[in-house]
Structure 1
Amino acid sequence: MEDLVVRAEGLRKRFGTTQALDGVDLAMRRGTVLGVLGPNGAGKTTAVRVLATLLKPDEGRATVAGIDVLKHPQEVRRKVGLTGQYASVDEDLTGVQNLVLIGKLLDLSRKDARRRADELLEWFDLTDAAQRPAKTYSGGMRRRLDLAASLVGRPEVIFLDEPTTGLDPAKREDMWGVVRTQVARGASVLLTTQYLEEADALADEIVVVDHGKVIAHDTPDGLKRRVGGQTLRVRPSDPERLPEVLHVLEAVAAPGTTAAKDEAAGSRPGSASVPVTGDAALADVVIELRGRNLEVTELALHLPSLDEVFHTLTGKKKAEELV
């Protein structure tokens, strides 16, 4: 039987007239990252709060680390770490005091709590600010301190609700490294995010939620294959031979499609693309290009982007709406 560290079945939660969760099922394998994505108000945060025992569902059941979240919430809390959408540190305490406090609440000795605090402050590049009140921190620093606080107890399951919001790109990539390190050390991570490239980079599997329902659950590549075919792109070394490349690509075009120059905003000039129906098209094109002695600087077979996946699954036009 598959080792599931998080399992939810039929979760329902209503706030007034709003059905936040409408029969949500979730499953996360131990030692993996599960990305939970969907439009604003889809129910992602509500699901996380139920799993973290901060909310009780109206219907359904869930277990975390094999423990029922409704019957034994205190036991679940000893197994999990949670970072919400907004930093929740005590701004009157220093950085180190915030982390030592969390450690003592988790029954660490003062010595062990301080050792763990120092370790995390160094990890999150906050050592120089350790003795300053958190209210003097920038928004990104408070966010990193909040993330550090969720890891004090070395949790078995980590819930990260948009953990990199407010971080600059460099710090965001640092945070990706933290997630990967936690998984390498045996933790399991459930991640909601507004950055599609983040889900693509980190998640072993992705759940798409919309209007309180799970509408897709697959690997990132599985989702991409589900919503559309692949695109084959070729860039000739000699731009003058681009019309010849177009002719080669036409021969492998998916039914009802045609090869075209890449002219979309942000595209580099001098290449052409065509939708194809399978991996075999790449081999056919390579053979034809070689036969024509047509050298290329780019030859790539692309799955649809996650942006295209979400456009198809949720009907949203922009990735920014998927927060």
Structure 2
Amino acid sequence: MLTGDEIPTEGDAVIDGLSLRHERNKFVQNIGYCPQFDAFLGDLTGVEMLQLMGRLRGINETYLKEVIATLVPLVDLTECAERPSSTYSGGNRRKLSTAMALVGSPPLVFLDEPTSGVDPVSRRRVWGAVSQATRNGQSVVLTSHSMEECEALCSRIIIMAKGTLRCVGSTGHLKAKFGQGYSLQVKLRTHGFTQGDKAEDEHAYNINVSMLKNVISHHLP
């Protein structure tokens, strides 16, 4: 709804005085959107897709070249930027979608699981691009299943369950309020032992687990 795909039946959203309900076309010109499912023109290269997005946002051609030249390496797309987007891997498609949302520095950016399927190294590069956007004064709304990603990028976190908002706060606040420590799962190899060996070791096994729990409770509250 906030991306303009659906018009709200009640309430409103406003960016720089522009109403989503009453000035939708101007409203959506001020947002960047990386959807969960990539939407490309497969015959266009990555650079051409970024050029298209920049022109739709009314960016000056000379400035647009500089923007793309900076953005492509920022999200780690240099090697495939001149190839048709239809040939991209899943990870590269997500990186291109993120770059398309960021091109032109819109004041509000929506990212729907931008690093899903992206390798760890490239994921860090994408995180760097998002962090730079926030440092430049852009507001970013990110959806993710990765707590690591949320901790790395978000100043405020909203947890939703079954479409209902459950809690809102900073990472530190949510950890302090809801954190219950860490769970350590220990798997022991039991094959190769006789029944007598198992019976003999059962008492020691129970003692070790009890001691281990005490250690966890003491060191990882």
TM-score by length of 2: 0.78
Alpha-carbon shift at residue 79 of structure 1 (Å)? 1.7
Alignment-derived partner of residue 194 in structure 1: 145
Is the CA contact (8 Å cut-off) linking 1:118 and 1:127 kept in structure 2? no
TM-score by length of 1: 0.55
Whichever residue aligns with residue 84 of structure 1, its letter is: P
Whichever residue aligns with residue 35 of structure 2, its letter is: G
Whether 2:9 is the aligned partner of 1:58: answer yes
Whichever residue aligns with residue 274 of structure 1, its letter is: S
Whether 2:140 is the aligned partner of 1:140: answer no
Alignment-derived partner of residue 227 in structure 1: 178
Whichever residue aligns with residue 117 of structure 1, its letter is: I
Alpha-carbon shift at residue 116 of structure 1 (Å)? 2.0
Q: Which has the higher contact order (CA 8 A, sep 6+)?
A: 1
Alpha-carbon shift at residue 158 of structure 1 (Å)? 1.0
Distance of 1:261 and 1:174 partners within structure 2: 43
Alignment-derived partner of residue 120 in structure 2: 169
Whether 2:171 is the aligned partner of 1:206: answer no
Is the CA contact (8 Å cut-off) linking 2:76 and 2:122 kept in structure 1? no
Alpha-carbon shift at residue 66 of structure 1 (Å)? 4.3
Count of matched residue positions in the alignment of Structure 1 and Structure 2: 195
Alignment-derived partner of residue 216 in structure 2: 273
Whichever residue aligns with residue 181 of structure 1, its letter is: Q
Is the CA contact (8 Å cut-off) linking 1:65 and 1:157 kept in structure 2? no
The C-alpha deviation readout for 1:147-185, integer Å capped at 9, x for no partner, is 111111111111111111110111112211111111111
Alignment-derived partner of residue 37 in structure 2: 86
- Report which of the two has the higher share of helix: 2
Whether 2:74 is the aligned partner of 1:123: answer yes
The C-alpha deviation readout for 1:28-82, integer Å capped at 9, x for no partner, is xxxxxxxxxxxxxxxxxxxxxx111111223333233443221222222222111
Alignment of 1:234-313 (within 5 A): 261-262=211-212, 272-274=215-217
Where do 5+ consecutive residues of structure 1 fail to align?
A: 1-49, 232-259, 264-270, 276-299, 303-323
Alpha-carbon shift at residue 114 of structure 1 (Å)? 2.6
Alignment-derived partner of residue 99 in structure 1: 50
Is the CA contact (8 Å cut-off) linking 1:140 and 1:167 kept in structure 2? yes
Whichever residue aligns with residue 106 of structure 2, its letter is: P
Alpha-carbon shift at residue 203 of structure 1 (Å)? 1.3
Percentage of identical aligned residues: 34
Alpha-carbon shift at residue 122 of structure 1 (Å)? 2.3
Alpha-carbon shift at residue 211 of structure 1 (Å)? 2.6
Distance of 1:186 and 1:157 partners within structure 2: 9
State the SS of the aligned residue for 1:61. coil
Distance of 1:118 and 1:262 partners within structure 2: 54
